[in-house]
Structure formats: structure tokens, C-alpha cells
Amino acid sequence: MPHVIDADRCTSCGACAEVCPEEAISEGTDSYVIDPEICTDCGTCVSECPVDAISQQ
Ligand code: SF4
Ligand code: SF4
């Protein structure tokens, strides 16, 4: 199941993108976004987010 970023919680701090080993996370219009085609669901980004915006759907 893919990891997704809740745009309402994301503050666009960029911390998740820095730790993603696949470089699957990029800055979007209103929040950072995860490309589901690249994400391997490793889970590394989840604990990096200070506002708990990333979850596995
Ligand atoms: S779950 Fe892993 S591969 Fe997917 S976006 Fe997070 S850090 Fe990157
Ligand atoms: S770490 Fe959390 S708040 Fe920061 S850019 Fe990623 S999803 Fe948004």
C-alpha cells in the first residue's frame, strides 16, 4: 500500500524528501508529494515528519 502525505498537515519543511532513499518525494504546489510509482514503501520518511503528515494508506 502506498505512502501518502496529508496536504492539510504538511508544512513543506522538506525533511522527508531528504531521507527518502528513492528520491520519491518532491515539493508540490501545496505540500510535498510522494510519487507512488517510485515509492518502495520502505517507511523511512514516516518518522521524519514532525507533524505526522505521512501515513500508509
Ligand atoms: S516510504 Fe520510503 S520510498 Fe516511500 S516515500 Fe517514504 S522514504 Fe521514500
Ligand atoms: S516531513 Fe512532513 S511536514 Fe515536512 S515536507 Fe515532509 S510531509 Fe511535509
What pTM was estimated for this model as a whole? 0.95
From the CB of 20, is ligand 1 less than 6 Å away?
yes
Residue 57 confidence (pLDDT)? 84
**For position 2, what pLDDT does the model report?**
87
Mutation test of ligand 2: which of 4, 26, 44, 51 has the most ligand atoms closer than 8 Å to its C-beta? 51
Q: What tens digit of pLDDT does each residue of 11-40 get? A: 999 999 999 999 999 999 999 999 999 999
Burial letters 2-31, b for 16+ CB under 10 A, else e: ebebeeeebeeeeebbeebeeebbeeeeee
Q: What is the pLDDT of residue 54?
A: 98
CATH fold label, 3-52: Alpha-Beta Plaits (3.30.70)
CA pair distance 39, 10, nearest whole angstrom: 18
For the chain, give every domain's residue range: 3-52
Per the listing, cell 505540500 goes with 31
Q: How far apart are CA 47 and CA 20, in angstroms?
A: 11
Q: What is the mean pLDDT of residues 26-55?
A: 97
pLDDT band at 7 (very low <50, low <70, confident <90, very high): very high
